[in-house]
Structure 1
Amino acid sequence: MPSFSRYCNLEDAKEHFVDEWRPDLSAIEDAFVKMVLEKIFVLDSIERPTAGDIAFLLQTLNISTNELSARDPVSGEGRRSYIISDSSSSKISFSWTPFVRAITDGDIKAVKRHLSKKGGKNARGDLALMVTANVGHRDVVELLDPTDKSGVTALMRTAERGDVVVARALMTKQKKLRDSDGKTALIHAAQRGCKEAVRVLLEHEKGMKDNQSHSALYHALKTGHMETAKIVLPHEDPTDENGVTALMRAAARGDAEMVELLAPLQKGAKDKDGTTAFAHALKNKHEGIATVLRKHEAPSRTPLMCAAVTGDVETARRHLSGKDKKNSDGETALMLSAKVGNEGIVNLLDSTNSPADSREHASFSWLTDRYYMDTLMTIYPFERNGLQSLFKVEKQQDVLKQRDGTYTKEPRR
């Protein structure tokens, strides 16, 4: 194996490594340590930071801009000496000390001279970028990693790479900026599935949308980064106190694209009323979306059941032969129509107007268990079968008798 010292032969290294080789650092949890190792383990020694570079970075990142300015707010000499003194005393030779001084002083001309000599940005340039962002010179940041003609900033590029340490340093100056498409750094990170960068940026940029009104959640879903989408979802489209999910809201408003994207994450969920996204789509007359969701949430629902939920009497008439069929939750079309209060369907399906036979008795029991009192009074009018006094008492007391003989004001699920 070749050595990773500055004196190793690059040609020798190429015999052992393929192009674009990168070490597997997945076991490294600390973002800063991972970033440093990524910079160290490169084949070209010119691109590799020195021990002095890294030592300087460690010292500088612990110094706030206020502390630096307090040393000598006019000349900046105190700032330079404060940053460099510890390194000098440890006898570490900095190959880029003039560059460091230019950065900490915000000396644009000196930074430009240094960059022209060094031939632009390299792996060590990322360290310089962190120092610059930490010190707070926005103009110098632009020199080191300029915003391009599309408005893509250093933070956006860093977010795309998932470089959390550099991203944190840049956020102070570049958070909430947008490129020409209206995309933020968070959206760039979400598009690439950079989970850690997304976590860092959510606090500052959640909810921001691009020029097409698409959020980071949309872009994560659209590009197939489901784990990233799971991170963003509670921040940008959370489930509310009634258990209504992002998928249910998309289904209710008829947003076909978001339904397709969210279904793999939230299919089958029910709100506090036991309603799925499929049912929300049906209730809001979005039949196309209901068709999409049916395969995810209601494969056991018949055409009659779907008509019972939407209140489509004509469709229900054509499928009355399936009147006694039940879905996977044990519900018949009559139960479903009663649940959403579609009186026309209830009347159509209630052919006997009596709970005498087993089918109607089951429907009656199901409705009382769930406290659909208004629907019960529609199905079984007061004057029939001796039920008048029962309904009057229960309606006045606003209670239901449970199987154990006690009464409750709450519906049982």
Structure 2
Amino acid sequence: MLSPCDVSADELGAQYMVLQHKCSSLETTLNDASARIAILEGDTKTKSERISALEATIAANSTKIDALESQCKEHLAMTRALENKIALLTASNPQSRLFLLSRLMRAAHTNSTETVRVLVEGGDGIGKRDEQGRTALMHAARQGHVEPVRLLVEKEKGLQDRDGWTALMHAVHGNHPGVVEVLAAHECGKRDSNGRTTLMIAAEKGYTEIVAALAPHEKGLTDSSGRTALMLAANNAHTEAVRVLVEYEKGARDTRNRTALMTAAQRGDLEMVKVLAEHEKGITDEDGRNALVHAARAGHREAAELLMEHEKDVTD
């Protein structure tokens, strides 16, 4: 091992210089690291301040959102209250419903023909519907206003409301023959949500004039039970409607092979039997029974005696 005395002054000086250089390098590295740390601390502080600002903004926006939600709930409650008031008002006074309709609907509903003409020519409100899905044409037809119907039919024909009713169906339900004559050529053949045609509706209600207008257009059509308009009229004792329909639908059978005459006989409707007997005599149902048998089995003596003249050769 060398003693300090064995190392020359030059060697010691050289080692000192090396150590001094290393220390200087370490100081530089340390200073760089300190500078970087200071920069990172500054960035961290800046980002922390930004995060705090964002948190404050979020908190403020959350407060605003809560306030908006509260306002929306208040407005919704007010809207529902207003809707309830309108519903009560319209229920107690149907005329007030007119204020909820479009200009064209109001004009059609109230038979304001010139207003309808102007609005139709300008294309104002054509095809619009109310809360029940009804158009201006339907409103006019429902009220029996012929001239507004003439003005609107080419623009709104064939449309159906939420119940599946066309303007023609509204006219039939309201028993408006004049409107039916205008609409028949445009909307015949359609069915409501129950599968009934306008002729069936008119027959069931006994609207003879309308039945006569619709029979040429919808004769022979049947409902889900296979019943024709003639059968529906007979079932509801509408003798005059039956007189019209028997010329178009005599001999038709339902899903049980029964005719209108059989139903009338079973009900004991003597007047109806008189009208139908000559047209549907001799026909039997799926069980081989004719109208005479149906009348006899139901205990309708007069109807049975009348039918004896037509069906005495057919037995149960």
- Bigger fraction of residues in helix: 2
> TM-score, structure 1 length as denominator?
0.33
What TM-score do the two structures reach when normalised by structure 2?
A: 0.42
Structure scoring higher RCO (CA < 8 A, sep ≥ 6) equals 2
Rg larger in 1 or in 2?
Answer: 2
